[in-house]
Amino acid sequence: MVKRIQKPLYWVGSSKKDLIALPDSVRRFFGHALNVAQHGERHDATKVLKGFAGGGVLEIIKDDAAGTYRAVFTVRFEEAVFVLHCFQKKSKSGIETPKRDVEMIHTRLKMAEAIARELWNDKGKKQN
């Protein structure tokens, strides 16, 4: 059996603080699903987030008595798994992610790309 290397987890913006503010059962669920992603696998509750090129931006959805919660992350970069946004979906109409949240995810994805580039450059410097 091949053991997969666990990628580090990076929290972009306020995503960690936002996760901590969620109900305990939701936090545990998201934590487990993110750990699965760190090992190169995909949890059953994870799906591709529409509106982002390719399949590298994913979301975990968890329903709770208080509502529906989402954690959005990316596995686009070899260096790490980046958590982009954690939030409670408050819109009562449809399943579409609110525009404000989509804009935040786009912004944080660009931040993750810059961090990944730095990590990649640092990795190259250490190998030389």
Q: What is the pLDDT of residues 39-86, one digit of tens each?
A: 999 999 999 998 887 779 999 999 988 899 999 999 999 889 999 999
CB-CB contact of 99 with 76 (8 Å): no
| pLDDT greater than 70 at residue 91 | no
Question: Is pTM beyond 0.95 here?
Answer: no
Q: Token digits for 16?
A: 């960690």
Q: Which stretch of 1-5, 12-16, 26-30 has the lowest confidence by average pLDDT?
A: 1-5
CB-CB contact of 64 with 55 (8 Å): no
Residue type, 9: L
Q: Token digits for 10?
A: 């990076």
Instruction: Using CA atoms of 57, 104, 88, 7 in order, give the dihedral in degrees to the nearest 10.
Output: 40
